Amino acid sequence: MNRPAIAVTGLGMITPAGHTTDTTWDGVCRGESFARTVPELHGCAVDFACTVSGIDLDEAVGGRTAFRMGRYVKFAVLAAREAVADAGLDPAHWDGARVAVVVGTSSGGSAGLTEQAVALERRGPEATSPSGILLTIPSMPAAEIAIQMKATGPSLAPCTACSSGVTALSVARDMLALGQCDIAIAGATESIVFPVAMTGFARSGAAALRDGDPARLCRPFAADRAGLVMGEGAAIMVLERAEDARARGAAPRALLAGTGATTDAHHPTSPHPSGAVAEAAVDAALADAGWRAEEVGHVNAHGTSTPLNDATEAALIGRAYPHRPPVTAPKGVLGHCMGAAGAIEAGLTVLTLQHGIVPPIANLDAPDPGFAIDCVTKAPREVSVRRAVSHSFGFGGQNAVIALQAP
């Protein structure tokens, strides 16, 4: 099928490293973890995380509406506004019927649901919020963005665990290719730094447990890696057909060249040890982009810092890209932003293409000696790269890979 080229014309982010794309990029390039003790998690086995801080979200989102939004919805609204402004678009003047909103999340408003459950149990139905349902459902980020931006085209919320962000970008790409919209606001959001989710992660065995300074704990691809550290945030892109972007004089940040998705069909938390199915997602993305593996100049890895993921992924990277392109893993700095991670990391990959810089992996001096991959450590590395990929391998074995290209 001869598909139109798809351009990334806008990017917005809110992460533990910053409230905008630029501040996030600066923070990620410093290569130091943002993990810290979180007072609201007092008493939990895991009482630290990388959180979005230093911003009054309600003030930023604006009056009369923030009260009905969960934290994950506020993140998405703020990132979407930045992305649309970055694209040089003005919702007051666009044909909203041709604008789609595709914003994924893994856990949606589970934090809000828990808060309402506690209110109901302790104080009765009259103490619960009339917005209780709005605070929980995963489609509200897309719906609230649509309301704010008068985007009356299709909107939806892909949910594929930690690969939800890449899935959302992939679905949005398809909608543009099929002519279902002219502009797609796409990405993902997540906020589950609250006691129930953090306790669940601690009990699942995937989380790094407290051992000294939380900022030293997330060490993707290190020999002594000890599990994931929770993050939160959102990243949203504006996607358009490249021809349309050119026609309106917009300069793309990058092109979305291809995507690939597979499912391990193996186990809810453990990746298949062979990595063969995840590798098939890489192969699918490269085939979709029409690239040969050796053309890939950079890999933004899933790199969760869990023993199993990093071993499986390092072996996969060695096999899939034998020419050893530079690898980074932003979760060392940002923590694992769960459903938002794939969108944030795709955004960082776009910035690597634009700036010619691969950010370093936090807390890593050198990769596990068993891993034959070229990890960027300690300082940002200047690279000349035109083609890059970002991996997302979610719980449930939901794998998605995105291929991005300099325009």
Partner 1 sequence: MRGNTVKSQTIHPKITEVLTETFKVPAAEILPESTMDSLEMDSLAVAEFAVIIKETLGVAADSEKLYKDATLTDISAFIDAAVGGEAAGSAVPVSNTR
From 19, 272, 298, 302, the catalytic residue: 302
For partner 1, the closer CB: 145 or 301: 145
Structure tokens at 32: 């130091």
State the nearest-atom distance from the C-beta of 168 to partner 1, in Å. Answer: 23
Nearer to partner 1, 23 or 65 (CB): 65
Of residues 135 and 364, the one with the C-beta less far from partner 1: 135
Is 336 tagged catalytic? yes
Q: 180: how many CB neighbours lie within 10 A of its CB? A: 14
Residue 81 found at the interface with partner 1 (CB under 8 A): no
Strands in 329-377 per DSSP E: 357-358, 374-375
Q: Is 210 in the site for partner 1 (CB under 8 A)?
A: no
> What letters, b where the CB count within 10 A reaches 16 and e where it falls short, cover 71-93?
bbbbbbbbbbbbbbebbebebee
> How near is the Cβ of 66 to partner 1 at its closest, in Å?
6
Q: Spot the catalytic one: 19, 298, 336, 391.
A: 336
- C-alpha distances in Å from residue 122, one per residue of 113, 116, 119, 125: 14, 10, 5, 9
Residue in 42, 43, 54, 130 binding partner 1, rule: CB under 8 A: 130
d(CA 256, CA 172): 11
State both tokens at 318: 């060695």
Tokens of 390: 């970002």
| The only residue of 129, 148, 152, 199 in contact with partner 1, by rule CB under 8 A | 129
Beta carbons within 8 Å of 42's beta carbon, 6+ residues apart = none
User: Do the bridges between strand 233-241 and strand 254-263 make them parallel or antiparallel, or are there none, so unpaired?
Assistant: unpaired
The yes or no reply on residue 42 touching partner 1 (CB under 8 A) is: no
- Selected range binding partner 1 among 128-136, 216-224, 342-350, 363-371, rule: CB under 8 A: 128-136
**Site for partner 1 contains 224 (CB under 8 A):** no
Task: Enumerate the active-site residues.
Answer: 162, 302, 336
Q: Which residues would be at the binding site for partner 1 (CB under 8 A)?
A: 40, 58-59, 62-64, 66-68, 70-71, 111-112, 115, 119, 123, 126-131, 135
